[in-house]
Amino acid sequence: MSALFQPFRLRDVTVPNRVWMAPMCQYSAAPAGPDTGAPNDWHFAHYAARAAGGTGLILVEATAVSAEGRISPYDLGIWNDTQVEAFRRITRFLVSQGTVPGIQLAHGGRKASTDQPWKGGAPVGPDTYGWQPVAPSPVAFDERHPVPDELTVTQIGEVIGQFADAARRALAAGFEVAEIHGAHGYLINEFLSPHSNHRTDAYGGSYENRTRFALEVVDAVREVWPDDKPLFFRISATDWLEDGGWTADDTVRFAADLRAHGIDLLDVSTGGNASGVHIPTGPGYQVPFAARVKAGTSLSVAAVGLITEAEQAEKILANDEADAVLLGRELLRNPSWARHAARELGGEVHVPDQYHRSV
């Protein structure tokens, strides 16, 4: 029987298959007004299509824990009850299709306050719904981005509280899985890496200090997230720097720490924290990083990155390189990828009654 279409249980949540949707920002929420940050018809149609296509778990895109935590003014947020109510429409439909609804909780850090990518993605100011970004250190991401304000220890505590509040709201919105976004050069990743964290206090310098903020966020979220529901962490396994960055060895070490603090699965990506680096992309190029974590720890792992073919995904699981695969662009191209893969591999997947003629 196909490994890709075996159910996967984490705590008391069972995902019907191992084809999962990676969080991908849509940059389509209202940037201002009463519906700021709330999902709308676009988001509903986008996620509903992938659920109807048989995807086992959908991780809703990076959803900001505060208004200034958005990557762009057009990002989703979950810092108020209006947003919670709008998310309920999505989670109800996903559950009706047998899909487990998950959400990625995020803070953009020094890469926040940028325009929609199809408009160039440049930083935006107050005249176009923007704001001043914050970070562990006053170090700009690149020459285009402004120098961020350095977070004080008091402000760090406030952000940790925002993650916990967002988790409470995610639960009220009907999500079964929460993922903490610690990757791609956003705030938590900025604290982890010595490339972006130049602090000299308890949140900078040593490995223990640089990981402190991330683990305090995990602890705060785990305290309010129910014991019967799984908590994920997305990480960039490497900065792709030859020196002075976060490394694959750091990731394996940190995975064990995350496990001890209540993380159930590590979503392994790479890059995003250093500009101008060369990333040797190719089919499954990030899978070896997931495989290292799986081999070196007891933590469950999901692999992501140019996984496009059913047989490719099947081999990743059969070779014990990961416990599940996360598809991104391929699910944008083909919302019914899971159904097509099940047909190819002889697996079973949910098909809506209305689509019975497609089987």
Tell me whether residue 285 is one of the annotated catalytic residues: no
Confidence of residue 110 (pLDDT cuts 50, 70, 90): very high
Tokens of 5: 């279409």
Tokens of 15: 């995902």
Domain that holds residue 172: 3-358
Q: Is the pLDDT of residue 21 over 90?
A: yes
First CA to last CA across the chain, in angstroms? Answer: 19
Q: DSSP states of 220-276 as a string?
A: HHHHHS-TTS-EEEEEES----SSSS--HHHHHHHHHHHHHTT--EEEEE---SSTT
The pLDDT of residue 1 = 84
Confidence of residue 50 (pLDDT cuts 50, 70, 90): very high
The pLDDT of residue 244 = 92
Confidence of residue 243 (pLDDT cuts 50, 70, 90): very high
The domain that contains 33 carries what CATH number? 3.20.20.70
Q: Average pLDDT of the chain?
A: 97
Number of structural domains (the chain) is 1
Across the range 114-138, mean pLDDT stands at: 97
d(CA 12, CA 213): 28
Find the catalytic residue in 47, 186, 203, 355.
186
pTM: 0.97
Across the range 304-326, mean pLDDT stands at: 98
Across the range 40-47, mean pLDDT stands at: 98
For residue range 321-351, list pLDDT tens digits in order: 999 999 999 999 999 999 999 999 999 999 9
Across the range 193-222, mean pLDDT stands at: 98
Across the range 198-205, mean pLDDT stands at: 98
Confidence of residue 358 (pLDDT cuts 50, 70, 90): confident
